[in-house]
Chain A
Amino acid sequence: MEKRVRFKGYLLPICLVMPQIVITAVFFFYPAGQAIWQSLFIPDPFGFSAQFVGLGNFEFLLSDPFYRASFITTAIFSILVTAVSMGVALFLAVLADRLIKGSGTYRTLLIWPYAVAPAVAGVLWLFMFNTRVGVVTWYLGVLGYDWNHVLNPGEAMGLVVLASSWGRISYNFLFFLAGLQAIPRSVIEAAAIDGAHFWTRFRTIVFPLLSPTTFFLLVVNVVYAFFETFGVVHTITAGGPQQATTILVYKVYSDGFVGQDLGSSAAQSVILLIIVSVLTVIQFRYIERRVHY
């Protein structure tokens, strides 16, 4: 049974939840409301007046080939970031789970990247892959590969995926490790006695039992790739070359602040708002039901 604390009167509970509500209102509801409002107008270039266009901004957006291209870019980007960061994290977590000695050090080291802000991480990766002075670029040159993410769209995408996944691996690693350690040893041992070798055990026992964690991370990582990778993209490629790395969030910024098309930018924000709401609903539904097994 769940225990509930009961308060007398309303004053204290209201005071307790107020800070959270105020913060949410100032930094979320107010801007979200503004975005929804603005998405219905086209302001004039000097910002003195605005013309009401109804859903015109949305109609224009959805028929804009650049916007659609950005959707596809975002899809590719988030699939890659999610796959890379979760794949690597799971691999490391499986190794750490088998480790008995030194797992503390290993864990601490793996958590560090999470503490690095995305923009800073972007700059670090940019240094390494800088087309003129980057260490990695130089080694690739020695190996005969001419790295140039400034000109090559594929390489640009690769680099932002790498930089975005890097910090994420830590986060995923922690969850996967906790998930793995929650699986009773004896269940794995029973499978070993039943004849299952490592890979069979992983496929038939460990991975299915890890599915709640995997599902949770899947949603969280997609949300991350959609919304929190702005800093990385901004520092490394600024959306280029030829919009090859212009993900939706970046497009909101570049159309709004750089291109000064505030109506369209607001409409894009609203679309993102809808996407994140859908993802959140999916997540809550599944987590509430505790699917798995």
Chain B
Amino acid sequence: MATVTLENLKKSFGRTEVIHGVNIDIADGEFIVIVGPSGCGKSTLLRMVAGLETVTSGKVFIGGHLVNEREPMDRDIAMVFQNYALYPHMSVFDNMAYGLKIAGRSKAEIAERVAAAAHVLQIEPFLDRKPRELSGGQRQRVAMGRAIVRKPAVFLFDEPLSNLDAKLRVQMRLEIKQLQRELGVTSLYVTHDQVEAMTLADRMIVMNEGRADQIGAPLEVYANPQTVFVAGFIGSPPTNFLPALSVSRGSTEELLGIRPEHLRIVGPDKCELRARVVNAEALGAETLVHTRIHSGEYVTVRQEGSRPVPEEGEEVGLGWAKENEMLFFTNGARRY
């Protein structure tokens, strides 16, 4: 159990800076999800905490200790890799026991701890198998098992579920969350999947090109995005952006963002904005109506499945409540 603090953490590869200074105080037992598109530096950030990448500048504290110069093994962490990184020549048991053996634990203690972890993860039947004799989902569990037997102070996950099929992903997501709650171990979890981020996180770090654009609880980030990027990245389908002037708000090049779920289709007369329906996707519980406004932007409306589905090519009006408007400065920051 430990707190983790990142202080103005930066990373450069050669002359290119890829992490531009990240600050966060992580409480003991907190589940932090680092989310962002591919290449934004999520893995790099996590690997600096693990000690697998050197820190270019800034500080990493684990449990109050500065660990910049410590080897990965001296940081009291465990990591689950995207490709699981199991030791291919060892049985599942040996994979899980490896760290304990190196730490010089007694045979009895190792057997007991591996058995306990195997029980929690329901991998007892596979203890004698080699990793190549397991399915992807089972390997994933072994990788988790290897992390939890060591009882580390911090768990690090780098896209642990991205190689699983959709159904298994949902199931493992729940299990990881439960496990983390039971064990109460501080966790950093990297994903590019915003649903994973929303469901797992106590707080999430939304990364954009090496910057932490916003750090906060999932619903708070959803309700109150601080930048254009966050507004566009969190939420599905993504936020619609219109030139602010087209609805007589703000000034040139400022953007107005409205989430699809906050838009309503109203009669073409008493509305803020007129649009033409391009296509409507009726998904049952909800309907996604894709429209196009005068200035050429596409705008998606998300409405209840029970509401009438508009015809293709139909002229409609779009309405929304004033409090759902998000206005962004040209530089991407939120104006209101």
Residues of A within 8 A of B (CB): 184, 186-187, 189-197, 200, 204-205, 208-209, 292-293
| Contact residues in A for B86 (Cβ distance below 8 Å) | 187, 190
Residue B72 interfacial (CB < 8 Å)? yes
Cβ of B130 under 8 Å from chain A: yes
B52 to A192, Cβ gap below 8 A? Answer: yes
Q: Are A194 and B98 in contact (CB under 8 A)?
A: yes
**Complex: how many Å from CA A190 to CA B103?**
15
Interchain CA distance A187-B130 in the complex, whole Å = 15
Interface membership of B99, Cβ < 8 A: yes
Chain B 66-105 per-residue mask, 1 if CB under 8 angstroms from chain A, else 0:
0000011100011101110111110000000011001100
Say if the beta carbon of B50 comes within 8 Å of chain A. yes
* A292 partner residues in chain B, CB cutoff 8 A: 89
Q: Which residues of A contact B141 (CB under 8 A)?
A: none
- For residue A147, give the distance in angstroms from its CB to the closest CB of chain B: 45
Are the C-beta atoms of A190 and B79 separated by less than 8 Å? yes
Complex Cα–Cα for A251 and B125 (A): 60
Given contacts A192-B52, A193-B77, A195-B102, contact A187 B87 (CB under 8 A): yes
Q: What's the nearest-Cβ distance from chain B to residue A20, in Å?
A: 36
Given contacts A187-B85, A192-B72, contact A200 B50 (CB under 8 A): no
* Cβ-defined contact, B103 with A187, below 8 A: no
A195 to B85, CA, bound (A): 15
Whether A293 contacts B89 by the Cβ 8 Å rule is yes
A195 & B89 in contact (Cβ 8 Å cutoff): no
Is B150 in contact with A209, judged by CB distance below 8 angstroms?
no
- Chain B residue contacts of A189, Cβ below 8 A: 50, 52, 72, 79, 81, 85
Closest CB in chain A relative to B301 CB, distance in Å:
44
Query: Would you list 9 pairs from A and B whose C-beta atoms are within 8 A, ordered by A residue?
Result: A186-B83, A186-B85, A189-B81, A189-B85, A191-B98, A193-B99, A194-B98, A194-B150, A195-B73
CB distance from A180 to the nearest CB of B (A): 15
Q: What is the size, in residues, of chain B's interface with A at 8 Å between Cβ atoms?
A: 23
- Beyond A190-B79, A190-B81, A190-B85, whether A200 also contacts B52 by CB under 8 A is no
Q: Is the CB of A197 within 8 A of B73?
A: yes
How far in angstroms is the closest Cβ of chain B from A273? 36
Across-interface contacts of A209 in B (CB, < 8 A): 88-89
Q: Tell me whether A193 and B88 are in contact (CB under 8 A).
A: no
Closest to A190 in B: B85
A184 and B85 contacting across the interface, CB-CB below 8 Å: yes
Output the least CB separation between B54 and chain A (Å). 12
B88 touches A192 (CB 8 A): no
Q: Most chain-B Cβ atoms within 10 A of its Cβ — which of A184, A186, A193, A200?
A: A193
State whether A194 touches B73 (Cβ < 8 A).
Answer: yes
Interface pair A187/B88, CB less than 8 Å apart:
yes
Q: Measured between alpha carbons, how far is A204 from B150 in the docked complex, in Å?
A: 18
Q: Which 9 A-B residue pairs are closest in the complex by CB-CB distance?
A: A293-B89, A194-B99, A186-B85, A190-B85, A195-B102, A195-B73, A186-B81, A193-B72, A208-B89
Contacting pair B81 A200 (CB below 8 A)? no
In the bound complex, what is the Cα–Cα distance between A129 and B89 (angstroms)?
Answer: 45
B103 touches A195 (CB 8 A): yes
Query: Are B102 and A200 in contact, CB atoms less than 8 angstroms apart?
Result: yes
Most buried by B among A191, A194, A200, A209: A194
Shortest distance from the beta carbon of A210 to any chain B beta carbon, whole Å: 10
- Among the listed A191, A197, A293, which residue makes an inter-chain contact with B88, where contact means beta carbons less than 8 Å apart? A293
Which B residues touch A191, using CB under 8 A?
A: 87, 98
- Least CB distance, A278 to chain B, in whole angstroms: 28
B71–A192 CB distance below 8 A: yes
Shortest Cβ distance from B98 into A: residue: A194
In the bound assembly, the distance between CA atoms of A197 and B73 in angstroms comes to: 8
CB distance from A204 to the nearest CB of B (A): 8
Contacts of B98 in A (CB 8 A): 191, 194, 196, 204
Residues of B within 8 A of A204 (CB): 98
CA of A189 to CA of B98 in the docked complex: distance in angstroms?
A: 13
The CA of A205 and the CA of B95, in the complex, are separated in Å by 11
Residues of A within 8 A of B85 (CB): 184, 186-187, 189-190
Chain B residues near A197 (CB, 8 Å)? 73
Q: Given the complex, which residues of B lie within 8 Å of A208, measured CB to CB?
A: 89
Across-interface contacts of B82 in A (CB, < 8 A):
186
Query: B33 to chain A: closest CB distance in Å?
Result: 20
